[in-house]
């Protein structure tokens, strides 16, 4: 099969706010080859990612992603790896290339799985798709009372694990943050799994992060996620050295745009949990490499997903067969957009768990009717010449 077409669809809610919610817009990717269709999703700025696919070449290693994708043979996993390597080399000076490639690469796995009648996880070498414990991923409230109510709602919805992120954490005093941590704990109950995400709020200020460790331990938090800039490996390592034995561990990795960044976070940042977003790191293949490396290093692999169930399925594939790596992120409060463009969704089983689908490819179908409700029309011109057009039809 040859890759005949790669189409992008920019979807957006009518109003996009500054809240840290990636489900407010989406960039879907459709790949066509050999009569088969695959879908993927980029987790990045849609317009910038489209531009990276079509932009005119600046020089030999700053080429559009399309140069390394269109017309390529796609008959097996080795072809996906080969295409990814071409993009890495030919677009090494195009910094948005990994984000753009991520959605394309996802779609290639989906297409190949459909052509073979196999789920992606099986093509990655796993014997079965192991159940995962989904955590409800929500934002901290503006007040501890709001946080408490959100935690209670998560528990009432059947989630035994809850991750609370961003909001006011790190913007006030350690005592203010401690009130939120304890509110989340109270809402989840004493047996609930509490996870805390602070969205890089402290940059590389190790002392500011350390000032919250006692409160995190008192609340029984399993991890503290992204206390620092994604590449501040020294800060991660320094804070790890100050963690109490047997207490909260550090988590991070969503900012990794390639396998090497993820490995550095494990080796130098000494995180206990590495969280990889298939929509950012270059797709499913690179995330699978990180999962294997995490196993070697005794680190727990976790997906990062805060958008749709299409992205959720892709993010589960790299560690679907790892029975001991049980926690998975689950977008519990996505915007209607993220729900509407997907025709089928993950249902939790009687134990409240989910697993990567057994259906061919990613096992998720895209709803064109749902897409039409949010689609944006895009034209990109250079010197008046149209080099990209999308959104007028699906």
Confidence of residue 350 (pLDDT cuts 50, 70, 90): confident
User: 65-82: b or e for each residue (b if 16 or more CB lie within 10 Å)?
Assistant: bbebbeebebeebebbee
Domain residue spans of the chain: 3-119+369-390, 123-340
Confidence of residue 394 (pLDDT cuts 50, 70, 90): confident
Report, as an integer, the average pLDDT of 119-136. 97
Rounded distance between C-alpha atoms, residue 341 and residue 348, angstroms: 20
What is residue 95's predicted lDDT score, i.e. its pLDDT? 93
Alpha carbon distance, N-terminus to C-terminus of the chain: 22
User: Angle CA(306)–CA(154)–CA(367) in degrees, nearest 5?
Assistant: 45
CATH number of 123-340: 3.20.20.120
Q: Which residues contact 161 (CB under 8 A, 6 or more apart)?
A: 133, 134, 135, 136, 188, 192, 193, 194, 195, 327
Nearest Cα to Cα of residue 230 among 256, 210, 212: 256
Which CATH class, in words, describes the domain spanning 3-119+369-390?
A: alpha beta
* DSSP-assigned letter for residue 120: H
What is residue 364's predicted lDDT score, i.e. its pLDDT? 97
Q: Which residue has the higher pLDDT, 138 or 59?
A: 59
| 59-85 pLDDT tens trace | 999 999 999 999 999 999 999 999 999
Sign (positive or negative) of CA dihedral 260, 263, 269, 273: positive
Rounded distance between C-alpha atoms, residue 275 and residue 256, angstroms: 9
Rounded distance between C-alpha atoms, residue 230 and residue 234, angstroms: 11
Neighbouring C-beta atoms of residue 389, cutoff 10 Å: 13
User: 139-178: b or e for each residue (b if 16 or more CB lie within 10 Å)?
Assistant: bbbeebebbbebbbbbbeeebbbbbbbbbbbbeeeeeebb
Do 3-119+369-390 and 123-340 share a fold?
no
**Does residue 333 surpass a pLDDT of 90?**
no
Q: Are 109 and 362 in contact (CB under 8 A)?
A: yes
Rounded distance between C-alpha atoms, residue 294 and residue 382, angstroms: 44
Rounded distance between C-alpha atoms, residue 126 and residue 318, angstroms: 9
**Does residue 20 surpass a pLDDT of 80?**
no
What is residue 306's predicted lDDT score, i.e. its pLDDT? 85
Report, as an integer, the average pLDDT of 267-291. 97
| 175-219 pLDDT tens trace | 999 999 999 999 999 999 999 999 999 999 999 999 999 999 999
Q: Are 166 and 198 in contact (CB under 8 A)?
A: yes
| 21-38 pLDDT tens trace | 788 899 999 999 999 999
Report, as an integer, the average pLDDT of 227-244. 97
């Amino acid at each position: 099969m040859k890759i005949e077409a790669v189409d992008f669809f920019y979807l957006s809610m009518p109003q996009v706010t500054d809240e840290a919610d990636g489900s407010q817009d989406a960039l879907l990717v459709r790949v066509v080859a050999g009569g088969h269709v695959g879908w993927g999703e980029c987790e990045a700025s849609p317009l910038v990612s489209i531009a990276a696919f079509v932009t005119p070449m600046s020089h030999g290693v700053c080429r559009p992603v399309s140069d390394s994708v269109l017309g390529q043979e796609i008959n097996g996993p080795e072809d996906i790896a080969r295409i990814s390597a071409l993009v890495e080399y030919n677009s090494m000076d195009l910094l948005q290339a990994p984000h753009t490639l991520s959605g394309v690469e996802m779609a290639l796995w989906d297409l190949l799985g459909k052509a073979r009648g196999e789920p992606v996880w099986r093509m990655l070498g796993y014997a079965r798709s192991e159940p995962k414990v989904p955590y409800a991923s929500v934002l901290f409230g503006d007040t501890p009372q709001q946080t408490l109510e959100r935690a209670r709602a998560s528990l009432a919805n059947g989630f035994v694990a809850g991750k609370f992120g961003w909001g006011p954490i790190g913007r006030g005093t350690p005592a203010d943050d401690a009130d939120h941590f304890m509110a989340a704990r109270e809402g989840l109950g004493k047996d609930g799994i509490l996870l805390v995400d602070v969205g890089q709020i402290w940059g590389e200020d190790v002392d500011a992060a350390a000032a919250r460790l006692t409160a995190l331990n008192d609340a029984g938090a399993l991890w503290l996620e992204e206390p620092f800039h994604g590449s501040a490996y020294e800060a991660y390592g320094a804070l790890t050295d100050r963690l109490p034995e047997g207490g909260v561990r550090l988590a991070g990795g969503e900012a990794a745009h390639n396998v090497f960044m993820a490995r550095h976070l494990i080796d130098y940042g000494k995180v206990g949990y590495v969280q990889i977003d298939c929509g950012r790191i270059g797709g499913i293949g690179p995330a699978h490499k990180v999962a294997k490396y995490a196993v070697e290093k005794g680190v727990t692999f976790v997906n990062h997903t805060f958008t749709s169930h299409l992205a959720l399925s892709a993010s589960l594939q790299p560690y679907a067969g790892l029975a001991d790596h049980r926690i998975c992120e689950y977008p519990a409060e996505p915007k209607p957009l993220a729900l509407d463009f997907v025709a089928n969704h993950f249902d939790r089983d009687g134990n409240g768990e989910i697993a990567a689908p057994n259906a061919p490819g990613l096992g998720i179908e895209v709803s064109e009717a749902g897409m039409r409700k949010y689609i944006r029309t895009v034209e990109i011109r250079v010197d008046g010449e149209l080099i990209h057009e999308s959104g007028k039809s699906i």
